[in-house]
Amino acid sequence: MTKGDGAAPRRRVLIVDDEPGMRYMARRVFQDRFDVVEAEHGEAALRILEEQSFHFAVVDVRLPGLSGLELLTRIKLLRPEIDVIVMTGSSADPDEVLEDSIRRKAFFFLRKPFPVSVLETLADRIVEIQAAREALDRQMRRLERDLEAARKFQRRLLPAPTFEESGVRIVSHHIASERLSGDFYDYWRLPGGEIAVLIADVMGHGPTAAMATGIIKSQLQRSLAESPDPAEALIQLEQELMRSQINGFVTAFLLVFGKDDVRYCGAGHPAVLGFTKTGAAFELTSNGIPVNTGFAQPERFTQSHARAEGDRFFLFTDGYTEGANGSDAMFGEAPEEGGPSPLLACVSGEIPKGAALEAVLTEVERAWVAHTGSRQSDDDRAVIGIEVS
């Protein structure tokens, strides 16, 4: 069968030995199964390696000029994927040569003379290992393609960064990690004209967390369309996650902006920071445990906050609140010595300036980066700013 007929390409081996007899023996061993290239010394081998690729090499320790061990080091620097079998016929300090070969990442060490079958067996073993490595690489590439498709799908679930309707203006800022994340948020108009806002964090990362975000979005939109009650919607979400066999838990904060009030229910999520038109701070706190599929279903209650013109609300995922500095102090946690958290101090400092929502969110990101410094995590982080008119 020819290569064009679908046969796998032959693997290639480089033989480096200054003894013609050894090169001849090695060529006889390999030529039926491999493409064989020979070099008489290390410098010639390096020139060949600069222009050609090989799967493995057989290198004698005693070479004119560049030694076999020096060549081994150069091969591993130039082509780290090449496995190298080292041979020696010297009886001087074989243990020292063996140790040096291992340190330089040789695949195997042989002392001459050796049976031809040993070289054949080593070649078979190299082929097996490389085939397994190549299969793993292919699988990893397929997995990465699948994960990238899932990341794109997950990010398409997020709303546009700005929204304004029914006297509610919303701005969001999202920093995406390279991983599939459980962080999720959404905002949308309900059939009765009220505005729903959700921020949530699914336990863990990966495909299960990504799949859960899709279920969360569709289930909450269905529930709130039927009855704009945040607590009831979270209870129904819990039931849907159980039916879908999504194990684990979800922290969430769900708000519904009505004409005269803001109804909300929290499930183990960080509190919502609020500010009146005059700059007075308040919090909407979580009043329930996370949405979960492993414990008894808790009672959940919808709370209410009077809606007032000029009120502002800020919601965060734990990528912001749990960002830590070199002393392990978190961005959303008040210091032991007292005073506000760096997050609250940042937002509170911007409100009296009359800063636009966009400016506040930009300052939050700047302050988070300054707080975490070199310890920045690869977790997603999201913040939502809401202003009521």
pLDDT in tens, 126-164: 999 999 999 999 999 998 887 777 777 777 888 999 999
Bigger pLDDT: 106 vs 4: 106
What mean pLDDT value characterizes the chain?
A: 88
Q: Does pLDDT of 189 surpass 80?
A: yes
Count Cα atoms within 13 angstroms, Cβ side, for 173.
18
Q: In this structure, what token pair is assigned to residue 172?
A: 């969001």
Q: Does pLDDT of 4 surpass 60?
A: no
Bigger pLDDT: 189 vs 351: 189
Q: In this structure, what token pair is assigned to residue 167?
A: 């006297």
- Going by C-beta distance under 8 Å and a sequence separation of 6 or more, which residues neighbour residue 343? 273, 316, 320, 321, 331, 332, 364, 367, 368
Alpha-carbon gap, residue 202 to 163, rounded angstroms: 24
Measured over the CA atoms of residue 117, residue 118, residue 121 and residue 123, the dihedral's sign is negative
370 CB neighbour count, 10 Å cutoff = 12
User: pTM for this structure?
Assistant: 0.70
Q: Which residue from 83, 19, 87 is spatially nearest to 56, judged by alpha carbons?
A: 83
- Tokens 């040096």 belong to which residue? 100
Q: Does pLDDT of 102 surpass 60?
A: yes
Q: Does pLDDT of 2 surpass 80?
A: no
Asked if residue 37 lies in contact with residue 52, where contact means CB atoms within 8 angstroms, the answer is yes
Bigger pLDDT: 99 vs 375: 99
Percentage of the chain lying above the pLDDT 70 cut: 92
Strands (E), 4-79: 11-16, 34-39, 56-60
Q: Does pLDDT of 58 surpass 90?
A: yes
Q: What domains can be seen in the chain, in order of their start residue?
A: 3-141 (3.40.50.2300), 157-388 (3.60.40.10)
Total count of residues recorded for the chain: 389
Alpha-carbon gap, residue 210 to 219, rounded angstroms: 15
Q: Does pLDDT of 92 surpass 70?
A: no
Alpha-carbon gap, residue 175 to 197, rounded angstroms: 19
Encoded amino acid at 131, one letter: A
- pLDDT category at 295 given cuts 50, 70, 90 is low
Confidence at residue 376, expressed as pLDDT on a 0 to 100 scale: 66
- Tokens 């506040």 belong to which residue? 360
CA triple 204-205-209, angle to 5 deg: 85
Q: Does pLDDT of 106 surpass 50?
A: yes
Q: Mean pLDDT throughout 237-251?
A: 86
User: What is the torsion angle, in degrees rounded to the nearest 10, for the CA atoms of residue 289, residue 293, residue 295 and residue 297?
Assistant: 70
